[in-house]
Structure 1
Amino acid sequence: MPHYWPDMPFDYLEWLVPVLPESWLISLYEQAKAQKTTHLHDDPYVRPVIRISDKIAVKCGHGVAPGEAATQQYAYQHLDRRVVRVPRVYRYFQVKSNSSWPIGYIFMEYIPGKTLEEVDLNNDDISKRLADIVSELATVSGGAIPGQINGGTLEGYLWGDDGTKDVFRSVDDMNHWLNRRLKLLNKEIDLRPYPLVLCHLDLCRRNIKLLDDDSLCLLDWGHSGFFPRFYEVAAAQCINDDGAYIRSLSNAVKNKANLSEDEEKCVWLILRARAASLRYIFEPRENNLRTLADIESLPPLPPLPPVEPLPHK
């Protein structure tokens, strides 16, 4: 039996979502999910997004965290709509499941349009527009804590397959995470001099909609957060998408950013730390392994693959 009245006024659902019982909203989601026409993508490796009305979409799944919803809503409130659109968040909640990992639900604005996967556009033209959007994101400053609003562990291309495991409560914590991995190359990074700004970090084509008025909308804020601005340059090289699009996007974002030599070195080091995370397991002793003596007590590891030289102006 559904947990909502049968004549639900769907035209006003955006006003009701903040106050309806969670069980009713879950029933709405499950009934819409059963109708394949409401699915907004068919990628089995991506957490599902379901349209439950003409104005509301729902993202649901393990790992849909409160920080994602809060950061998306912050972006909606602070970014210039003339440059980029962001779906408004109406409601977020978690439901405890049988596992230790709760299921998160984001009820958000549904914005009609086609993703960049569905349209035939010149990569260079769209990449220049996205580089402008990245610059707009970088005008939104964060505080002293990296990552998403409300904290939490981090997911995404730059953190390895399993994410960060630990929560970063300061830039020093992020430095520690990176330097444990960079020790394999006898390198170090210090991100303290760089302000934290809003970054999306997952600009693949399925996460970008072209709207009827020719504006662009950014979807899926699961990798987003506040980081030094060059994190967007690093992430653009790692996204899971068509090769020609990745190259075009990476070049456009990097050229627009006009990084200093020190910032380019930071990008190089971030990408090497990512490579180490994909190759080795660091987490079992992450909470306790804080000193140089601890690190040196580990058994020797095989070398990383050959690396390209550090960038120079």
Structure 2
Amino acid sequence: MELSVRLSPQRRLIHQCDKAKAQCNVVSGHDGGTQVLRISDSIVAKCGPGVRPSEAATQKHAYRYLSCRAVRVPEVIRYFQDHSDASRPVGYLFMEYITGKTLADLDFGVDDVPSRLAGVIAELRRLPGDVPGPVGGGVPHGPLWGDDASTEEFGSLEDLNRWLNKRLEPAGRTIDLRSYPLVLCHLDLCSRNIMITEGDMICLLGWGHAGFFPRFFEIAAASCVDDEAAYAQDLLRAIQGVAKPTEKDQECVDLLLKARPASSRY
């Protein structure tokens, strides 16, 4: 089946996705938005207007370079966009199906998840980057950027500094990120994106917000995660335990969160 997905015409694969919807082979999501569809015993397709090339590229990078002993990442088999509606292209991300249950499905019933997440976050931070944002370029997405996107692709930390400082200007504050190395950050570690596999490993899903950023961006993203309160608190503690933020780091987190609502005005 994997070879078929790699070689089949796009229209045939789109038809397979439509057939999976009609047969109610929906793993998650809702009609009209992003859905994950079971295509075969070993492959799922994530499809929708919000499934972007940058997500596929970042997930591929994570699969290739993260230690499989520390964290599982589904292998990307193929990605393309359907431009039938030029104003609203639909992305199709075909990937390995990994058996397990997300923390949302488990109702947070795994006691050692916070400590295990700390190890996963430490592994993410091991991967360096040169340019802020998703692997291969693109506009960053997610709640840190206001209305779900920065509206700008960053070519350097100076670009990111300028973007943030423009939004901090009304508050009379500034931020300087130039001394911080860029590391891989997931930025969407909500319970539906963390799976416990049948082999009792943590698997990270949902790479649409991920990219290379200063390490404390993961703390800022966890501070505004939309999830059950107890889980959100455990997640934040786990990240802080790994990051061990300095006073300057915490000040930068506060400034990121201050810039976030201002982003909606630009």
After TM superposition, the score normalised by the length of structure 2 is 0.95
Alignment of 1:1-20 (within 5 A): 13-20=1-8
Contact 1:202–1:235 (CA under 8 A) maintained in structure 2 = yes
In structure 2, stretches of 5+ residues that fail to align are: none
Code of the residue aligned with 1:111 in structure 2: it is I
Which has the larger Rg? 1
- How big is each residue's C-alpha offset from its partner over 1:123-145, in whole Å with a ceiling of 9 and x where there is no partner? 762122112111100001111x1
Cα shift at 1:43:
5.3
For residue 175 of structure 1, the aligned residue among 143, 156, 161 is 161
Q: Report what 1:260 is aligned to.
A: 246
> Is the alpha carbon distance of 1:123 and 1:175 closer, same or farther for their aligned partners in structure 2, counting shifts above 3 Å?
farther
Cα shift at 1:162:
3.9
1:206 aligns with 2:192: yes
Alignment of 1:229-248 (within 5 A): 229-248=215-234
> Is the alpha carbon distance of 1:179 and 1:134 closer, same or farther for their aligned partners in structure 2, counting shifts above 3 Å?
same
Residues in 1 aligned to 2:256 and 2:108: alpha-carbon distance in whole angstroms:
31
Q: Report what 2:53 is aligned to.
A: 66
In structure 1, stretches of 5+ residues that fail to align are: 1-12, 283-313
Contact 1:123–1:245 (CA under 8 A) maintained in structure 2 = no
- How big is each residue's C-alpha offset from its partner over 1:202-247, in whole Å with a ceiling of 9 and x where there is no partner? 0111111111111010001000001011111111111111011101
Code of the residue aligned with 1:54 in structure 2: it is D
Code of the residue aligned with 1:76 in structure 2: it is Y
Contact 2:29–2:36 (CA under 8 A) maintained in structure 1 = no
Which of structures 1 and 2 has the larger relative contact order (alpha carbons within 8 angstroms, sep 6+)?
A: 2
Cα shift at 1:173:
1.3
For residue 224 of structure 1, the aligned residue among 210, 213, 237 is 210
Code of the residue aligned with 1:161 in structure 2: it is D
Describe the SS at the equivalent of 1:111: coil
Contact 1:63–1:101 (CA under 8 A) maintained in structure 2 = no
For residue 260 of structure 2, the aligned residue among 274, 289, 306 is 274
Cα shift at 1:268:
1.0
> Is the alpha carbon distance of 1:121 and 1:101 closer, same or farther for their aligned partners in structure 2, counting shifts above 3 Å?
closer
- How big is each residue's C-alpha offset from its partner over 1:255-310, in whole Å with a ceiling of 9 and x where there is no partner? 22111221111111111111322xx411xxxxxxxxxxxxxxxxxxxxxxxxxxxx
Code of the residue aligned with 2:254 in structure 1: it is W
Cα shift at 1:149:
1.4
Q: Report what 1:8 is aligned to.
A: none
Contact 2:79–2:93 (CA under 8 A) maintained in structure 1 = yes
- How big is each residue's C-alpha offset from its partner over 1:79-118, in whole Å with a ceiling of 9 and x where there is no partner? 1111100000010111113242311111100101111111
1:77 aligns with 2:61: no
| Higher percent of residues as strand | 2
Describe the SS at the equivalent of 2:173: coil
Code of the residue aligned with 1:65 in structure 2: it is R
> Is the alpha carbon distance of 1:19 and 1:196 closer, same or farther for their aligned partners in structure 2, counting shifts above 3 Å?
same
Q: What RMSD over aligned residues (CA atoms) do the two structures have, in Å?
A: 1.6
Cα shift at 1:184:
1.8
Q: How many residues align?
A: 266
Describe the SS at the equivalent of 1:17: helix
For residue 250 of structure 1, the aligned residue among 202, 225, 236 is 236
Cα shift at 1:56:
0.5
Residues in 2 aligned to 1:47 and 1:92: alpha-carbon distance in whole angstroms:
15
- How big is each residue's C-alpha offset from its partner over 1:63-86, in whole Å with a ceiling of 9 and x where there is no partner? 311111011010000011111000
Provide the identity percentage: 50
After TM superposition, the score normalised by the length of structure 1 is 0.81
Residues in 1 aligned to 2:187 and 2:253: alpha-carbon distance in whole angstroms:
13
Residues in 2 aligned to 1:91 and 1:161: alpha-carbon distance in whole angstroms:
29
Contact 2:59–2:207 (CA under 8 A) maintained in structure 1 = yes
